[in-house]
Every structure is written in C-alpha cells, then in structure tokens.
Amino acid sequence: MAYGVEQDRLRALLPDGFSSLRPVLRINAELRDGKTGYVEFNTAVEKDGVRGWLNIAF
C-alpha cells in the first residue's frame, strides 16, 4: 500500500544526497515462517539522476 505523507517529514528521513520525488510512503509487510512478521517502509527518491525506491526503515 502507498500512503500520502507530508513531504517535509519524508525529507527529514532521507540520507544526504537523496531528494524525495513525491509525498508517498510505501509499506510492505510479510509473515515469515508463520511466526515472525517483517515490515518495511519505502519512499520514491532520486539521487544523481537515478530514480527508485529507498528503504528508509524496517
């Protein structure tokens, strides 16, 4: 799923050199081995002319 978030809050989470492309936070979740859950948070970014998704937390 993707959720709209405040652009300035996303920028505060990004490492140096990355720029936020849009105010979207993508959340991926999975259940591993029937016991353990895994959740990661990604946002669309650009760095040095390359665009993609950056995992900002898990």
Q: What is the pLDDT of residues 3-28, one digit of tens each?
A: 677 888 888 889 999 998 888 888 99
3-state class (DSSP) for residue 24:
strand
Domain count, the chain: 1
What's the confidence (pLDDT) of residue 6? 83
| Structural domain boundaries, residue 19 | 2-57
What is the rounded distance in angstroms from the CA atom of residue 28 to the CA atom of residue 40? 5
